[in-house]
């Protein structure tokens, strides 16, 4: 064994990975791409799982960075409200406006932190990488249940073909 995964170095790796994730039988992939079933299985268990995990970690890091940007913007806005309160403490109208803005700031921060429950629904958009990680996890969990796995794989493919989805 050369130490390099044959599937990782295959020119059609992306197509092979998609097929593995959606549950295409290894026998079919072996015939289509000329890679042994055992090599495909090792790739799926080792390389593909690592790739999905690495992509998910990269996405999470990007999300954390974006969240930090949001919190910095919130802090900046809060400082501005505090400045207005300090500079115009003798004008009740301006103080009320600043307090109103401050209240909205605290609500916004609570929403960003997931602590605000006023019945408002916040939709979270998952990126393609996260959705792929979820799909992979589901399909791997169903590995010993081939009929259920195929039905779930078909349902996931149908779901990604629906208009308005970007998966």
* Residue 133 contacts residue 123 (beta carbons within 8 Å): no
Among 2, 3, 6, which residue's Cα sits nearest to residue 34?
A: 6
pTM exceeds cut of 0.85: no
Instruction: Please state the domain extents for the chain.
Output: 13-160
Question: Within the chain, which residues score under 70 in pLDDT?
Answer: 1-3, 56-57, 60-74, 102, 106, 109-110, 112-129, 159-167
pLDDT score at 30: 93
Instruction: Give Rg (Cα) of the chain.
Output: 25
Rounded CA separation 101/84 (Å)? 11
């Amino acid at each position: 064994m050369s130490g390099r995964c044959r599937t990782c170095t295959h020119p059609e790796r992306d197509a092979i990975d998609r097929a593995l994730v959606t549950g295409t039988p290894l026998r079919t992939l072996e015939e289509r791409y000329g890679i042994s079933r055992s090599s495909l299985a090792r790739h799926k268990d080792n390389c593909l799982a690592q790739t999905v995990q690495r992509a998910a970690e990269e996405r999470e890091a990007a999300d954390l960075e974006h969240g930090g940007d949001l919190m910095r913007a919130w802090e900046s806005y809060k400082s501005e409200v505090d400045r207005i309160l300090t500079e115009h403490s003798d004008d009740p109208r301006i103080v009320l406006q600043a307090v109103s803005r401050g209240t909205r700031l605290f609500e916004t921060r609570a929403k960003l932190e997931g602590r605000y429950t006023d019945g408002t629904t916040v939709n979270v958009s998952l990126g393609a990488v996260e959705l792929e990680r979820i799909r992979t996890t589901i399909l791997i969990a169903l590995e010993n249940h081939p009929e259920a796995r195929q039905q779930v794989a078909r349902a996931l493919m149908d779901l990604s073909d629906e208009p308005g989805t970007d998966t």
